[in-house]
Chains A and B, each alone.
Chain A
Amino acid sequence: MDEPSDSALDASRIFIYSHIADTGAPPTSDEIATQLHITRNAAIALLRTLGARRQLVLNRESGEIWMAGPMSAVPTRFRVHGEQVSWWANCAWDMLGIPASLSISARVETGCACCSERVTIDVDEERGPLSDEGLVHILVPARRWYEDIGFT
C-alpha cells in the first residue's frame, strides 16, 4: 500500500488532536475513517505512518492510539481537568504539557510516586502552576526516551 499523502496525514493529525481536546479521548480508526471519508484500512495505514514517524504511539495489539503526546488514551496516575473536559497525561511532564499545549487553565490531580499521597496542582493558562511544591524526576536520559516510550 502506498504511503499516505502529507495532506491526509495533516488532516488525520488535526482531527485526532481536535477530538482529544474536545472529548478527552482519541478517536478510533473507525471514527477517523468516518471523519475523513476513507476506508478503515486507510485509517489504519494513516495511524501506522503517524506511529512510525513518532507522532503517535499505537497500542501494539489493537493498533489504536495509545499516546498522542502529551495525552494518553488509557488511565494513568496523572489526571488533568479543564473547564469542560478531562484528560489522562502520559507522565509527570505531560500533566503540565496538556494545559501548556491546549493553552488552558486546568487542575491536575496526581499522587506522589513515593508515598501515593494525592496532590492537586492548579495551573493558570498564563502563569503555569500556581504552586511549586513537588518535583518531576526524569529517569531515562533523553537519547533513550524512544527505546521504550511507555517506560520513559
Chain B
Amino acid sequence: MLFFRSEEHLERWLQQHGGDRGAVLTLADTWTLSKAWYPDRRHAGWRPRSIEQSQAVLESVGLRDEFWSLAPR
C-alpha cells in the first residue's frame, strides 16, 4: 500500500512497473477507514474480528465492491 503525490505520479509508476491498478483512496478516505479499522488494542475489551465483521467495517465506510471482498473464493 503505497503513497503517491498525485494521480499522475501513480499512473507513471504503474507504467514503469507494469502493475495493475488496484484501489485508490484519498487521504480523507484513508483516515475514515483507519478510524473504523483500527480500534485501540490496548483496551481490555478488544477482540479480533471475524471476516464477516471486518467486511462490515469496510462496508460501513462505503468500500463495497469486489476489490474489498475478504471472503475466499
- Cβ–Cβ contact B40 & A103, under 8 A: yes
Q: Is A44 an interface residue (CB 8 A)?
A: no
Q: Is A27 an interface residue (CB 8 A)?
A: no
- Cβ–Cβ contact B69 & A143, under 8 A: yes
Interface of B is mostly: mixed
- Cβ–Cβ contact A113 & B39, under 8 A: no
Chain B residues with Cβ under 8 A from A145's Cβ?
70
Closest A-chain residue to B54, C-beta based?
A142
- Cβ–Cβ contact B1 & A137, under 8 A: yes
- Cβ–Cβ contact A119 & B5, under 8 A: yes
Q: Contact size class for A?
A: 35 or more
Mark B residues whose CB is within 8 Å of A. 1-7, 9-10, 12-13, 16, 19-35, 37-44, 46, 48, 58, 66-73
Contacts A119-B5, A135-B7 known; 13 new A-B pairs at CB < 8 A: A14-B44, A93-B25, A94-B1, A96-B34, A113-B3, A128-B35, A135-B3, A135-B24, A137-B3, A137-B4, A138-B25, A141-B22, A143-B69
Mark A residues whose CB is within 8 Å of B. 10, 13-14, 17-18, 21, 53-55, 68-70, 78, 91-97, 100-103, 110-115, 117, 119, 121, 123, 128-129, 131-143, 145, 152
